[in-house]
Amino acid sequence: MEASRQSEAASSLRRIKLLHTVVWFVLGSFVLAIPLLVALGHQRIALALIAIVAIEVVVLVLNRFRCPLTDVAAQYTDDRQANFDIYLPLWLARYNKQIFGTLYVAGILYALLAWWGAAPGWANAIQ
């Protein structure tokens, strides 16, 4: 019976890690796309991505800067390495918030500069 529970826990953990990785990939792609979209003049799409990522930031802040999926994954393992809950290399999982937080803020600043006409790539003012 114990082996069955361990197998079920391992299976649940794999599903959570996969979901967490997919969500991370989508949001990380949004962060990387923001300055590119701004440079191409797609300000509305860039603003939409900024808003979507901002929702995730609020979720993280409300959850003590932890993804809620981390707490769910923690129920299925005693492992607490930075990547126990996601399929990322350890170094990236460890510094994920610093790396993507910096890129997100830089993307927002670039968008604001472009909106105010101080940066290249903003085809039209926000309407």
- Domains in the chain: boundaries: 2-115
Q: ∠ CA 94-79-29 to the nearest 5 degrees?
A: 35
| pLDDT tens digits, 13-47 | 999 999 999 999 999 999 999 999 999 999 999 99
Q: Which amino acid belongs to residue 46?
A: A
Say if residue 127's pLDDT is above 50: no
pLDDT confidence of residue 110 = 95
pLDDT tier at 120, thresholds 50, 70, 90: low
pLDDT confidence of residue 119 = 58
Contact of 49 with 100, CB cutoff 8 Å: no
Averaged confidence pLDDT in the chain:
92
